[in-house]
A and B are shown apart, each in its own frame.
Chain A
Amino acid sequence: MDGRSGPGRLGKIVAVAALGVAIVLLFGALPSASASTGRQVARPGIVVGPGFSNARVYWNGQNVSGASSAGSAVAINKGQTVPVLFEFNELAAGKIHQASLQLTYLGVVLTTSTAGAYITGGPPIAGAAMINWSFGALSNALQGVFEFKASLQNSTGVTVWSETFYVFAKTPYLLESGAVAVLLILVIVEAYWIASAIREARKSARPPPPTPWAPPASTGTSGAAPPAAPGPTEGSSGSTSPPPGGAS
């Protein structure tokens, strides 16, 4: 494989692909960004609409309000199904119609799970919703920190409450995740190409080795020409020339 053209071509392909994905994702994210305006923010990561009291989300029994950053993410193991419980209080009965859970990656919503809400008591009116969530078919490809958005919608589909939290998807063995294996192979390949480029640069910077002295090409028919000596014998190989000092 040509070490000079391969990485350069791959780099161009990756750059063009990344640019295309970035443009597509950017235009895909614009409608959702504009749709989220016009709501009041109660605390970072939580959006509350008018006429609504409060809500809490429990991920496997753990309140997700403490998982508002990648460092404090709640965990899920590979193949695990996690119960996600929504509890809410509302000012008027029937305000909350359903609960939903969205997985977002690079600004794109990968999956959305929904469940109907039901009244559990009151007054004040209390309700709940339950979603059993798992990565499903994505569990072998996805590992790491992912952003989830838990939200409650009214009967017209308008989001009246939402909260963002982070989940760390773990696999028993790190290399079981396909994405990690692919990324590690890419790291090895790129490191090899960088090393080969540096080796190539060193080779080109090294001064050429000194060539051993070679006699001028002989025109005679004999095989090995004797080493040429400066003086009268130069240019007369193959012929019988008299020694210096005259012939007897």
Chain B
Amino acid sequence: MSATSQAAGSGAVLGIVLVFLLQQFGVLALSDLVLSLVFFVVAAVVGGVLCGLAARRAGRRPSSPG
């Protein structure tokens, strides 16, 4: 598995966890099923895309040694 897909998967999980945390802190109400699923899907897609892009960019740009 590439580093990009690994970062994308972890970012998707992180997005879902953050939605639960927002509910715990009183920002979101996850009572309605359909609305909750929308929150989860959007958060997973955003987290996965952002983290995947970050890893892909890091893989393309050579960093200075050390």
Interface residues of A (CB under 8 A from B): 3-5, 7-8, 10-12, 14-15, 18, 22, 25-26, 29, 69-70, 73, 104-108, 143-147, 166, 168, 177, 179-180, 183-184, 186-187, 190-191, 193-194, 197-198, 200-202, 204-207, 209
Contact = CB atoms under 8 A, between A and B. Distances in A.
B21 to A, nearest CB: 5
Contacts, number: 137
Interface residues of B, number: 43
B9 A11 contact: yes
Binding site secondary structure of chain B: helix
Given A190-B17, A194-B14, A197-B55, A70 B26 contact: yes
Nearest to A10: B13
A69 B23 CA distance: 13
Contact of A22 (B18, B23, B37, B59): B37
Given A168-B26, A183-B24, A202 B14 contact: no
A205 B13 CA distance: 26
A105 B30 contact: yes
Interface string B23-62: 1111111111110110010000000000100111011111
A168 B18 CA distance: 18
Interface of B: 1, 3-7, 9-14, 16-18, 20-21, 23-34, 36-37, 40, 51, 54-56, 58-63, 65
